[in-house]
Amino acid sequence: MSDTQTAAEQRIPVTVLTGFLGSGKTTLLNKLLRRPELADTAVIINEFGEIGLDHLLVEKSDDEGMVTLNSGCLCCTVRGDLVRTMSELFLKRSKGEVTPFKRMVVETTGLADPAPILHTLMTDPLLASRYRLDGVVTTVDGVNGTSTLDNHEEAVKQAAVADRLLLTKSDIADAPKLSELKSRLHQLNPGAPFHAISSGDIDPNEILNAGLYNPDTKSADVKRWLHEEAYGHEHGGDHHHHHHGHGHDDHDHEHGHGEQDPHNVNRHDDRIKAFCMTFDEPMSWSTVAAAFDALVTYRGPDLLRMKGILNVKDTDKPVVIHGVQHVFHPPATLDAWPEGDDRKSRVVFITRDIAESTIRKVFASFFEAEKKGWSGQLDEQKPQ
């Protein structure tokens, strides 16, 4: 299950573009497809009819739903399913039948939960060896975003798992309402930078390359990827770890084990917690893997997103973990710790109906068990 930095560099980065119906995703795609920065990009969309590609933009097309644009961007529709479409594209690329694209953008449908696509990228053996998830970009309607978040839990989830948030229609949105929406999104997902855009205009570099690997420096950029400082600086817990919490005060909204406040069922985002946990001491891989395994087994669907860097015993190299619900990327070992890093383990969690204190208790119980001589028996291999 080992994964190396070199392997990550060789795989094609995939940006997943999601957003609720009417949130400006199509307008954004239309503008992006014209940009020279996407010359070496393959874009998978739901259907060409929605995009309404200007025939002047099209350089050549075939009967398999594949179009090459003047900008050099390759655009195609999903055929059958995403795995098949991505596999066929890679095959055509290998045979020289299409532009040798260097990255990919995948559009999800407006009502879709992006998690299954992320799971597919992480777990399908064929795709995982050829592609890597770079980031999730979510469009949020600057005019109707508040009511969408109020009425559709999927929209809340789309915002919660994003690496980048795009606030669309900002030019026609009511300023106070837009400000309130920004604040709400920041509560939901403090680690995701967001951009207010109008008419789909944005520098593609602001939303591409949002993952751990920074192509400019040709190295892992942990600070940019984790963005842990966005989660505040509250300290608590025992000597082994402290936390940086963000979101709603625990005493206001945690009932029992962090369940939703029954008197406020329409505010779906009250169910979302975003926080960063820091562990001061090096960890045994088997123990931390057992703790995550327990969390996934009992609360998998509610672990919306986890990403972190771990200081693991018996190695001087950092281990990177990345999970979406019950699915984890194979752990990746970086070549070295970032310069000046204090080498503390940090894990960012975005959860639904799971209090930070619950997760802290799980880790504490496994660390305590380890001290008593117990070590988790897991099939997972230790990262190389």
Residues with Cβ within 8 Å of 270's Cβ and at least 6 positions away in sequence, in order, are 248, 253, 260, 261, 264
Residue 237 binned pLDDT confidence (cut-offs 50, 70, 90): very low
Token pair of 240, please?
Answer: 């082994």
pLDDT in tens, 76-98: 877 667 888 899 899 999 999 88
Distance CA 315, CA 334 (A): 11
CB-facing half-sphere around the CA of 273: CA atoms within 13 A: 27
184, amino acid identity = R
Q: What average pLDDT does this structure show over 108-128? A: 83
Note the pLDDT of residue 66: 75
291, amino acid identity = A
Note the pLDDT of residue 166: 94
Note the pLDDT of residue 267: 67
CB-facing half-sphere around the CA of 220: CA atoms within 13 A: 23
Distance CA 48, CA 26 (A): 10
pLDDT in tens, 304-330: 999 999 999 989 999 999 999 998 888
Backbone angles phi, psi at 11, to 5 degrees: -80, 155
Spell out the domain ranges in the chain: 12-56+69-211, 270-372
Domain 270-372 matching CATH 3.30.1220.10: the answer reads yes
Contact assessment for residue 43 and residue 73, using Cβ atoms and an 8 Å cutoff: yes
Distance CA 188, CA 36 (A): 33
Distance CA 61, CA 75 (A): 9
Token pair of 124, please?
Answer: 């399908």
pLDDT in tens, 17-62: 999 888 888 888 888 888 888 888 888 887 665 555 555 555 555 6
Distance CA 349, CA 276 (A): 6
Residue among 186, 27, 23, 33 nearest 112 (CA): 23
Residues with Cβ within 8 Å of 380's Cβ and at least 6 positions away in sequence, in order, are 1, 289, 293
Alpha helices in 133-211 (DSSP H): 145-151, 153-160, 175-188
CA dihedral (159, 164, 165, 167) in degrees, to 10, reads -160
Which of 378-383's residues contact partners 24+ apart within 8 Å by CB, and which partners?
Answer: 378/286, 378/289, 378/290, 378/293, 380/1, 380/289, 380/293, 381/1, 381/2, 382/285, 382/286, 382/312, 383/1, 383/2, 383/3, 383/285, 383/312, 383/315, 383/319, 383/330, 383/331, 383/332, 383/333
Burial class (CB in 10 A: 0-12, 13-18, 19+), 216: exposed
Distance CA 3, CA 11 (A): 12
Residues with Cβ within 8 Å of 302's Cβ and at least 6 positions away in sequence, in order, are 325, 351, 352, 353, 354
Residue 343 binned pLDDT confidence (cut-offs 50, 70, 90): very high
Note the pLDDT of residue 73: 79
Residue among 115, 104, 93 nearest 328 (CA): 115
Distance CA 284, CA 57 (A): 55
Share of the chain above pLDDT 90, in %: 40
Distance CA 23, CA 260 (A): 27
Mean pLDDT, the chain, rounded, equals: 80
More confident of the two residues 73 and 348:
348
Distance CA 176, CA 179 (A): 5
pLDDT in tens, 262-281: 344 446 777 899 999 999 99
Which of 368-374's residues contact partners 24+ apart within 8 Å by CB, and which partners?
Answer: 369/287, 370/284, 370/287
Share of the chain above pLDDT 70, in %: 78
Distance CA 316, CA 298 (A): 32
* Residue 206 predicted with pLDDT over 80: yes
CATH tag, 12-56+69-211: 3.40.50.300
